[in-house]
A and B are shown apart, each in its own frame.
Chain A
Amino acid sequence: MPKAPNLPENQVTDPALYLRRREFLRTSAAAGAALAAGLPALAACGSENPSEARADAPEPKSPPPSLGPVTPAPARFRAEDPLTPEKDAKSYNNFYEMGTGKDDPARNAHRLRTEPWSVSLTGEIAKPGVIALEDLLRPHPLEERIYRLRCVEAWSMVIPWVGVPLGDIIRRLNPGSKARYVAFETLLDPEQLPGQKRRVLDWPYREGLRMDEAMHPLTILAVGMYGQSLPGQNGAPLRLVVPWKYGFKSIKSIVGIRLQAEEPVTAWNQSAPGEYGFYANVNPEVSHPRWSQARERRIGDWRKRPTLPFNGYGEQVAALYAGMDLRRNF
């Protein structure tokens, strides 16, 4: 019998209530999308923030974490490459929920309301429920990580993140023995995320990791970058960062974390299974069907540079995939 997680009882919503609410949210959002921006009243149903469902939870006590003290990145979590200019990292984004153009997310980010924000924790854990973001993070000191980010589109950046190791959070949830994967879900709300009005992907965006990947010390849940809170276009207020995988694995604006036995369905894999695998480890030897992954352009450079296996984190993570055919499990 696993120990109860470190969550005060009064901050946990009855999961059944929460799930019903999400169902309603999903249905109304889908209807709104179908009507293609007509009937604003109906579309507005989707704009409800998940945290508003915490009818039985106390008032949100504090605003989401303004970045207080941050532990500087130790050498093993600090890429030596020069940082990408902050304005580039905050203006050249793939976040289809805010539009498919690279500059759309920065333009649309003001619609996203990140306060209050809560995250539903479900599946094979001791105490499923919905928790306010600040309560989820409170027990964990914030850490800086300087990671390379390699997009599947063959460009890359070097970003100083601020966050907490996902493994530390998962341990606190007391996962059961059946928890073999972690599934993540982005907020579904076409009013705040107008890109969801068009069905470019099967919203909400979903991603997932194998348990050992999620527990790996490189994997973090980020709440900030460049010493400040995450801007909307970079996945505020809570996003995943998995530096040895293509960027699309690092899901943004997370409202749901679920521990489960089966490999989760993931958005890009579902959209084009031949092009985007579940693992999506950076691998210069396995081409995307339409372009080579052997080289990448660091944002700010004119020419391309070679891409490193596991984005240069092979020493730390290659062992996770020992014996696996990485060509098949791309």
Chain B
Amino acid sequence: MKLGGRPARIAVASAGLIPLAWGLFDLATDGLGPEPVEAITHRTGSWALRMLLLSLSITPLRKALGAPGLTPHRRTFGLLAFLYATMHFTTYLALDLDFRLGGLAEDIRERPFITVGFTVWVLLAPLALTSTRGSIRRLGKRWQVLHRAVYPAAILAAIHFVWSAKADLLEPGIYAGVLAVLLGIRGVNRFGQKRSNYATIRRARSPDETHAQGAGGKDQEGDPQAVPTANPYPKGKTP
């Protein structure tokens, strides 16, 4: 079975729907406890955040394993995150607010905790809507720019969870920690990439070195003078 093949994608999507099935089963069998609304709100919110983190872990995992086949699952997890986030938001809108839009407006205006949560949903919606192949083709480069919204969305989702806690920050803290690691990996990769790009530029500009040794080499001992324009931060003197 190919990592990103159709059967694999179906398997991942089905696995991602297990929490929903499980929740519906609990709902039907009185398994959500004395306060089912709180249970639904908490479960849908947690799964939205988990799916978002899984989606964000695909790229680093793909790079670490050298497995480009994983890429399609990024979308699957992203869509699952939006699905659970939508259920989370709808539960709040229907059962906490009775669909009173005035109440929603007041909450968004006056309670940063809600403002942040609502913003996450608003940021995720266009990403879900433009997740089709057609959109990717149509939007071209802009698609990538648009889908960077997943980073602020994830950060705000973690803040929303931390903010929802009364005093016990352990669980939301763990999620925030995982997100920090996932974003940290990207930061490190990006930095590394920049450096290897500079190395490429340096080699290209260097008069006595016309043959590239392969882009992305890791062993160039930098002579800061060799990259006078392209690199404002010579190696070893990062800001």
Within 8 A of A (CB), among B154-198: 163-164, 166-168, 170
Tell me which of B37, B106, B166 has the highest count of chain A C-beta atoms within 10 A of its own C-beta.
B166
- On whether A304 and B98 interact (CB within 8 A), knowing A291-B111, A292-B107, A299-B35, the answer reads yes
Q: How far is the CB of A131 from chain B (nearest CB, A)?
A: 32
Choose among B38, B103, B163, B168 the residue that contacts A292 (Cβ–Cβ < 8 A): B103
Q: A268-B167, A290-B113 are in contact. List 18 more A-B contacts (CB 8 A).
A: A88-B34, A92-B34, A100-B168, A102-B33, A155-B38, A200-B167, A201-B167, A272-B166, A290-B112, A290-B163, A292-B103, A292-B111, A297-B35, A297-B37, A300-B34, A302-B37, A302-B95, A304-B95
Query: Does B26 belong to the interface (CB within 8 Å)?
Result: no
What distance in Å separates the Cβ of A79 from its nearest Cβ neighbour in chain B? 18
Contact indicator per residue, chain A 166-209, by CB within 8 Å of chain B (1) or not (0): 00000000000000000000000000000000101100000000
Asked whether A303 lies within 8 Å of B98 as measured between CB atoms, the reply is yes
- Which residues of B lie under 8 Å from residue A92 when comparing CB positions? 33-35
What's the minimum C-beta distance from B115 to chain A, rounded to whole angstroms? 11
Bound Cα distance from A88 to B35, whole angstroms:
9
**Partner among A103, A201, A271, A302 whose Cβ is within 8 Å of the Cβ of B33:** A103
Partner of A91, one of B33, B38, B106, B163: B33
For window 265-298 of chain A, which residues contact chain B by CB distance below 8 Å? 268, 271-272, 287, 289-292, 297
Provide the bound-state CA to CA distance between A91 and B107, in Å. 30
Q: Are A303 and B106 in contact (CB under 8 A)?
A: no
A161 adjacent to chain B (CB < 8 Å): no
Closest residue of B by beta carbon distance from A103: B33
Residues from chain B with Cβ under 8 Å of A297 in the complex: 35, 37, 95
What is the total number of residues of chain A having a CB less than 8 Å from a CB of chain B? 28
A303 in contact with B34 (CB, 8 Å): no
Nearest residue in A to B113 (C-beta to C-beta)?
Answer: A290
- B residues at A contact (CB < 8 Å): 33-38, 95-96, 98, 103, 106-107, 110-114, 163-164, 166-168, 170
In the complex, A271 Cα to B168 Cα: how many Å?
11
Whole-angstrom distance between the Cβ of B39 and the nearest chain A Cβ: 9
Q: Which 8 A-B pairs have the closest CB atoms?
A: A88-B34, A92-B34, A100-B168, A290-B113, A200-B167, A200-B168, A299-B34, A290-B111
A residues near B, CB below 8 A?
85, 87-88, 91-92, 96, 100, 102-103, 153, 155, 198, 200-201, 268, 271-272, 287, 289-292, 297, 299-300, 302-304
Evaluate whether A304 and B35 lie within 8 angstroms (CB atoms) in the complex, with A272-B167, A291-B111 already known. no
CB-defined contacts of A198 to chain B, threshold 8 Å: 168, 170
A289 touches B111 (CB 8 A): yes
Distance in Å from the Cβ of A61 to the closest Cβ of chain B?
38
Give the distance in Å from the alpha carbon of A303 to the alpha carbon of B103 in the complex.
Answer: 14
Closest Cβ of chain B to A275, distance in Å, is: 8
List of B residues within 8 angstroms of A100 by Cβ: 167-168
Residues of A near B113 (CB, < 8 A) are: 290-291
Contacts of B170 in A (CB 8 A): 198
Contact B95 A303 (CB under 8 A): yes
Q: Contacts A201-B167, A292-B103, A302-B95 known; A91 to B34 CB distance under 8 Å? A: yes
**Interface-central residue, B33, B98, B106, B170, by most chain A CB under 10 Å:** B33
State A276–B161 Cα separation when bound (angstroms): 20
Q: Quote the shortest CB–CB distance from A97 to chain B (angstroms).
A: 12
- Chain A residues within an 8 Å CB radius of B163: 290
- Contact A96-B168, Cβ < 8 Å, known A155-B38, A304-B96: yes
A213 and B46 CA atoms in complex are apart in Å by: 41
The residue that B35 contacts in the complex, of A87, A102, A303, with Cβ under 8 A, is: A102
The residues of A that contact B36 with a CB separation of less than 8 Å are 302
Docked Cα-Cα span, A200 to B98, in Å, equals 33
The CA of A300 and the CA of B38, in the complex, are separated in Å by: 11
Which of B36, B37, B98, B107 counts the most A-chain CB atoms under 10 A from its CB?
Answer: B37
Chain B residues contacting A153 (CB-CB under 8 Å) are 166
Please name all residues of chain B whose beta carbon is closer than 8 Å to the beta carbon of A85 when the two chains form the complex.
Answer: 34
Give Cα A304–Cα B94 distance, bound, in whole angstroms.
10
| A96/B95 contact (C-beta < 8 A), A88-B34, A102-B33, A155-B35 known | no
7 of the cross-chain contacts (CB-CB < 8 Å) are: A92-B35, A96-B167, A290-B114, A292-B103, A292-B111, A297-B95, A303-B98
A101 to B98, CA, bound (A): 26
A121 to B: closest C-beta gap in Å: 29
Measured CB to CB, the closest approach of chain A to B84, in angstroms, equals 20
Q: In the complex, what residues of B have CB within 8 A of residue A91's CB?
A: 33-34
Q: How far is the CA of A198 from the CA of B110 in the complex (A)?
A: 32
B98 to chain A: which residues have CB within 8 Å? Answer: 303-304
CB neighbours (8 Å) of A103 from chain B are: 33
Residues of B near A88 (CB, < 8 A) are: 34
In the bound complex, how far is the Cα of B166 from the Cα of A272, in angstroms?
9
Q: How far is the CB of A326 from chain B (nearest CB, A)?
A: 19
Which of A87, A100, A103, A271 has the most chain B CB atoms closer than 10 A to its own CB?
A: A100
CA distance A304 to B93 in the complex (A): 12
